[in-house]
Amino acid sequence: MSADHPVPPEPQRLPGVGQRLDLVDHDGRPVTVIRQKDGNLEVHHDGTSVDLPANQARALGALASGHFRMAPGLFERVDGVLGGIEFDWVTVPEGAWAAGLSIQDLALRQRTGVTVVAILRGSLPILVTDPTQRIEVGDELVIVTPPEGRPALERYLERGS
């Protein structure tokens, strides 16, 4: 990250079109990225631009994030699942009812429909294969959720209902 930009830039809404992200390259020249609603990506730099179709853009995003490797056609397949599923994360808040309890105690999947696939604790990712793994305040839970599953999970972690 360039020293002039300690905070990573946030995308802005382009009403009716999609989103716009303003970046700078190593030399400080502007790079403008447009993500249209259909997922097509335009990268503008120095008077020229590159257009990527949605599936290519997703592969680029996965590569750039460096976090996970995408199976070919994963997103197309996810879209095909009834109602779609979402990949997301939530932080266990201060004073959460669920702190100190294990995934098993919480019966998370049965109660909220959300599956926890990993826990990020400090700099240490824990791949949750063990249902007796306890969660703690400040943990980031990496989840796979049906649409709108996230609010239910947050409520449950906080208040136990």
Partner 1 sequence: MGRELIVLGIAFLLSGLLARVGARFGLPTIPLFVAAGILVGPNTPGPVLFENPHDLELLAAFGLIFLLFYLGVEFSVEDLTSGGRKLLWSAGLYLALNLGGGLLLGFAFGWGTKEAFVIAGITGISSSAIVTKVLVELHRLANPETRLILGIIVIEDLFLALYLAALAPVLGEAESMADGALLFLRALAFLLLLAAVANWGAPVVEKIITAKSDELLVVLFIGFAFLVAGVAYELGVSDAIGAFMAGLVIAGTSLASRVERLVRPLRDGFAALFFFAFGLSIDPGDIASVLGPAVIAIVATLLLAVAAAVGAARINRLDRLAAANIAFSVAARGEFALILVTLAASAGLDARLAPFAAIYVLVLAVISPILALRSAAFVRFFPKRLVPDPV
Token pair of 120 as six digits: 């990020």
Question: Contact with partner 1 (CB under 8 A): which of 32, 104, 125, 159?
Answer: 32
Q: Does 147 bind partner 1 (CB under 8 A)?
A: yes
Q: CA 115, CA 109: separation in Å to the nearest integer?
A: 6
Q: Are 103 and 135 in contact (CB under 8 A)?
A: yes
| DSSP-based three-state secondary structure for 139 | coil
- Confirm or reject binding of residue 148 to partner 1 (CB under 8 A): yes
Binding status of residue 44 toward partner 1 by CB under 8 A: yes
**Site for partner 1 contains 14 (CB under 8 A):** yes
Phi/psi for 52 (5° steps) reads -115, 130
Among 72, 83, 95, 122, binds partner 1 (CB under 8 A): 83
- d(CA 67, CA 62) in angstroms, rounded, equals 7
Contact between 58 and partner 1 per CB under 8 A: no
What are the residues binding partner 1 (CB under 8 A)?
Answer: 12-18, 20, 32, 34, 36, 42, 44, 49, 82-83, 146-148, 151
